[in-house]
Amino acid sequence: MTPPDYEYLRKLLKDQSGLDLSADKQYLIESRLVPLSRKCGLSGIAELVQKMKSGSASIVAQVVEAMTTNETFFFRDKVPFDHFRDTVMPEILQARSARKGIRIWCAAGSTGQEPYSLAMCLKEMGAALSGWRVEIVATDLSQEVLEKSKSGIYSQFEVQRGLPIQMLVKYFKQNGEFWQLNADIRAMVQHRQLNLLHDFSQLGTFDVIFCRNVLIYFDQETKINIFTRLAGTTEGDGFLVLGAAETVVGLTDAFKPYPERRGLYRPNDSRTTRMPGGGPKFATAAGM
């Protein structure tokens, strides 16, 4: 790959998806884009770049998608889901006892293991949520991962990563080499394509936002911008959950760490960016 082609791709990826590649990541681009160029019937990265420069929106979208890292698994890192069950949900059950509704957003839900882990956590709570409206909104930049998430179909390898065997037996049906989540769990999650670089205020406000393992790919300025806008979509008594390598500390005071709960944050009372209102913004919400 020529240095000008690398610079072109680096800038395009930063502008389109926030991906912040350092000057020495040629191998990463080559490992993802050489196979893509072959799939598109092109001779290599130089021709791919030519097509992009001549305005092929479809090639640009495929390049951006090919450069996303979609790694995820059920109950990833475990601790955030313990916090969700033991700290977040008890507070929400009390705070929302009149409204009997909860809105959760997985802001980079990838192939669905994260939103469906939350759905299974809520299902496990049984009678405590009886009569509640539960909305889990899973968004991602990549349409391809969203399609897989919607299907709720996972390989043997995928269900063996992080998912307790009792939950596999209880919430999945086996179909040949694959496992599909039961329809009632799938119905708890709504899917939307969404780029975190763009306005997301149309989603409304949420009680809980999981935004894990995506901000690590962005530069500081982009992280700060997204944190500010996330604060605007979090209820004043809501929660933000970040990935193990992510923090708001040193970047923004829009959120503050929840004491003794690593990765869990609450909006700061002093901020002024929150949007008014909230409540369900979509037509469907699963009743429990």
Ligand X SMILES: C[S@@+](CC[C@H](N)C(=O)[O-])C[C@H]1O[C@@H](n2cnc3c(N)ncnc32)[C@H](O)[C@@H]1O
Question: Using CB under 6 A as the criterion, which residues of the chain lie in contact with ligand X when the complex forms?
Answer: 17-18, 68-72, 76, 108, 110, 114, 140-142, 145, 195-197, 212-214, 243
Smallest gap from Cβ 139 to ligand X, in A, equals 7
How many CB atoms within 10 Å of residue 245? 10
Smallest gap from Cβ 46 to ligand X, in A, equals 25
Residue with Cβ nearer ligand X (132 or 210): 210
Residue with Cβ nearer ligand X (81 or 172): 81
Smallest gap from Cβ 226 to ligand X, in A, equals 9
Find the helix or strand (DSSP H, E) in which 57 lies. Answer: helix 57-66
CA atoms within 13 A on the CB side of 4: 4
Smallest gap from Cβ 287 to ligand X, in A, equals 26
Q: Please name which of 54, 165, 73 lies closest in space to residue 117, comparing C-alpha atoms.
A: 73
How many CB atoms within 10 Å of residue 32? 15
Length of the chain: 288
Q: Please name which of 120, 109, 128 lies closest in space to residue 164, comparing C-alpha atoms.
A: 120
Residue with Cβ nearer ligand X (62 or 213): 213
Residue with Cβ nearer ligand X (81 or 132): 81
Residue with Cβ nearer ligand X (179 or 217): 217
Q: What is the DSSP letter of 258?
A: P
Locate 247 and state its tokens: 């923090």
How many CB atoms within 10 Å of residue 205? 21
Q: What is the DSSP letter of 40?
A: T
Smallest gap from Cβ 14 to ligand X, in A, equals 10
Smallest gap from Cβ 110 to ligand X, in A, equals 3
Residue with Cβ nearer ligand X (49 or 214): 214
Q: How far apart are CA 267 and CA 236, in angstroms?
A: 6
Residue with Cβ nearer ligand X (72 or 133): 72
Bridge partners of 265?
240, 257
Collapsing DSSP to helix, strand or coil, 104 comes out as strand
Smallest gap from Cβ 71 to ligand X, in A, equals 5
Read off the amino acid at residue 53: K
Pairing of the two strands 206-211 and 101-106: parallel
